[in-house]
């Protein structure tokens, strides 16, 4: 199928218009994982990728990442060949893959609901979600790294909200990165920061086209921030679109990068 690429590990969802229907692929072969098994595997793969991205200092080599990913396969009692063969078959049967991906989202959302219930309150949840992470360049994305945009979804936003922790510094830069598939029109990215003095900086960008998108917000180096938040917004018009592999990287800015800071800030920041 021309134009389709299935990443073996990040499992990027692909929804494209088919020009032909491959009838021979409609029946699932015995060696292809069924819907529930495939959905559970995809859910764990996404959680695993989140672990790798959040703890990248522990996964500095490809071999370390491969061992960790292989442990996910072993947990589900499947081989690499079964996983890749199943991905290939579902890739040629997009409607069935959409069903599997929807079920994977349901599994992750249910796990999140259970976690919230166990935590007991929104305040406690915020404390857990905003785990302090040390480092000069770390992924601090606090929630699910993917979602669908479709008429059946309750809203058209993927939101995030971070409260300050002991590792925040003046002048930090937050880079929001995501991959989009299935878009028919531009998608909107908004990032904002509230400072303790009552002021706010923000950036809003509308980006067309599928593929990787990136937006950066540079915090004021003379102010203390207490909250960084924002959203990805896409309003579908009949299509099903996906955002995947979302990351929010916090980077320290030194004097040698001051010029780059000015470039990023002037690109689209506003002040209130």
Other C-beta atoms within 10 Å of 236: how many?
18
Q: What is the separation of C-alpha 143 from the centre of its chain, rounded to a whole number of angstroms?
A: 8
Has residue 271 got a pLDDT over 80?
Answer: no
pLDDT of the residue at 26: 57
Q: What is the separation of C-alpha 11 from the centre of its chain, rounded to a whole number of angstroms?
A: 11
Residue with the bigger pLDDT between 117 and 153: it is 153
Has residue 61 got a pLDDT over 60?
Answer: yes
The residues with which 197 forms a beta bridge, in sequence order, are none
- Distance in angstroms (rounded) separating the CA atoms of residues 180 and 177: 10
* C-beta separation of 107 from 41 below 8 A: no
Residue with the bigger pLDDT between 243 and 48: it is 243
Has residue 82 got a pLDDT over 80?
Answer: yes
Strands, DSSP E only, in 43-142? 137-139
Q: What are the tens digits of pLDDT across the range 190-240?
A: 999 999 999 999 999 999 999 999 999 999 989 989 999 999 999 999 888
Could you tell me how many residues make up the chain? 272
pLDDT of the residue at 127: 37
pLDDT band at 117 (very low <50, low <70, confident <90, very high): low
């Amino acid at each position: 199928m021309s134009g389709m690429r299935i990443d073996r590990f990040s499992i990027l969802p692909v929804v494209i218009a088919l020009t032909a229907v491959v009838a021979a692929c409609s029946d699932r072969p015995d060696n292809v994982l069924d819907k529930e098994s495939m959905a559970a595997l995809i859910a764990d793969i996404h959680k695993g990728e989140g672990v790798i991205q959040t703890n990248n200092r522990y996964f500095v080599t490809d071999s370390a990442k491969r061992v960790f990913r292989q442990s996910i396969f072993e947990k589900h009692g499947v081989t690499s060949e079964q996983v890749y063969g199943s991905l290939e078959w579902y890739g040629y049967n997009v409607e069935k893959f959409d069903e599997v991906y929807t079920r994977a989202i349901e599994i992750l959302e249910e796990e999140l609901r259970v976690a919230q219930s166990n935590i007991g309150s929104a305040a406690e949840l915020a404390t857990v979600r905003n785990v302090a992470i040390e480092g000069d360049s770390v992924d601090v994305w606090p929630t699910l790294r993917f979602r669908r945009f479709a008429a059946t979804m309750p809203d058209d936003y993927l939101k995030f909200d971070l409260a300050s922790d002991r590792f925040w510094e003046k002048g930090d830069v937050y880079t929001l990165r995501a991959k989009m598939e299935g878009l028919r029109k531009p998608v909107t990215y908004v990032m904002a920061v509230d400072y303790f003095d009552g002021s706010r900086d923000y950036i809003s960008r509308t980006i067309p086209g599928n593929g990787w998108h990136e937006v950066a917000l540079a915090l004021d180096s003379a102010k203390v921030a207490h909250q960084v938040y924002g959203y990805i917004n896409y309003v579908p018009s009949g299509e099903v679109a996906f955002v995947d592999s979302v990351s929010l990287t916090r980077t320290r800015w030194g004097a040698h990068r001051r010029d780059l800071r000015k470039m990023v800030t002037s690109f689209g920041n506003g002040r209130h």
